Amino acid sequence: MDDRVTNIKTPEKCEIFARNCADRGRDDLALEARQWAVQLRAEAYGAESDVEKQAVGAIYAYEEVLSARNGKKTRASSTWQLIKRHGIISAVDRALNRPADPEGYVTLVDMGLADFALEAVILRNPEAFSDDAVAISEARMKQWTAA
């Protein structure tokens, strides 16, 4: 990742940097700035493990998708409520029981944030999640990447 990006200290400044880079045709730097913003948000959340940090990063990336769709900043309110009630790992397991959002995955890919998909996080860390969550993630990723 470019030093100009990793020297940015807040997600808000990453967003400004990304917009400026995109305006100047530097989509590579804009992509890195969006990724760095998600990482900064995840680190600031205070997750207790690397898996939890990755899962929180996936939720922040999903908020990027929602915001892009809606044309304004949008929070994943129901997911954050699940986390508050059940904890990060259990909330991710429960979130996988919702209907699949293939358009959301395509948007993550288009934004350069595919590694932040909940399914990708689960497949990188299968030992932390239920067998059902792993099976659902495998099926979704096969379907989405085959298309």
* Separation between Cα atoms, residue 44 and residue 9, nearest integer Å: 11
Nearest-10 crossing angle of helices 50-70, 77-86: 160
pLDDT the model gives residue 53: 95
Local confidence band at 147 (pLDDT 50, 70, 90 cut-offs): low
Q: Which two tokens stand for residue 11?
A: 């997600």
Q: What is the DSSP letter of 49?
A: S
For residues 65 and 103, the answer to whether their CB atoms sit within 8 Å is no
pLDDT in tens, 49-82: 999 999 999 999 989 888 888 889 999 998 899 9
Q: What is the DSSP track for 18-32?
A: HHHHHHTT-HHHHHH
pLDDT in tens, 112-136: 888 999 999 999 999 999 999 999 9
